[in-house]
Amino acid sequence: MTYILIVEDDEAISDLIAMNLSLAGHSYRQIYDGDKFLLVLEKENPYLIILDVMLPGKAEIRLDEHIAIVDGEPVELTAREFALLEVFIQNRNLALSREKLLELAWDYDYLGDTRTVDVHVQKLRKKLSWENYIKSDPKHK
């Protein structure tokens, strides 16, 4: 049985996720705000975190304007970093493989090394200060 942390401020969505996890035989914990999530994360080590990407609080993403603002300050993102961020937002609460991220954010069949995704995700985490928000499965690094 896998322990999964659900971080979603919409209780109906959180309950739906919890119900499906329960049916699949997983244990879970529901958290409804980003601040409590950070406190829980310091004490617990879940196998997987399903995170409402809009919870990290202090961030405003304007998809149609290609603008990211964190703590009231604009953050410069490359076109590829913003495309990756947009994929994360549009696919929130989903685990995506490197190959799927390449397909969605690069918008073509990329023939190079999938580690380019790791580099772009790392840069995105750092620029947005979302090191604790965008997670990778350590078994698949």
Q: What is the pLDDT of residues 29-84, one digit of tens each?
A: 999 887 788 788 888 888 888 877 655 567 778 888 899 988 888 999 999 999 99
CA distance 80 to 88: 12
Nearest to 58 by CA among 40, 35, 39: 35
User: What is the separation of C-alpha 4 from the centre of its chain, rounded to a whole number of angstroms?
Assistant: 14
Is the pTM higher than 0.85? The answer reads: no
Name the one residue in this structure whose structure tokens are 């990290």: 56
Question: Computed from CA positions of residues 60, 64, 67, 72, in that sequence, does the dihedral angle turn out positive or negative?
Answer: negative
Domains of the chain by range and CATH? 1-52 (3.40.50.2300), 75-135 (1.10.10.10)
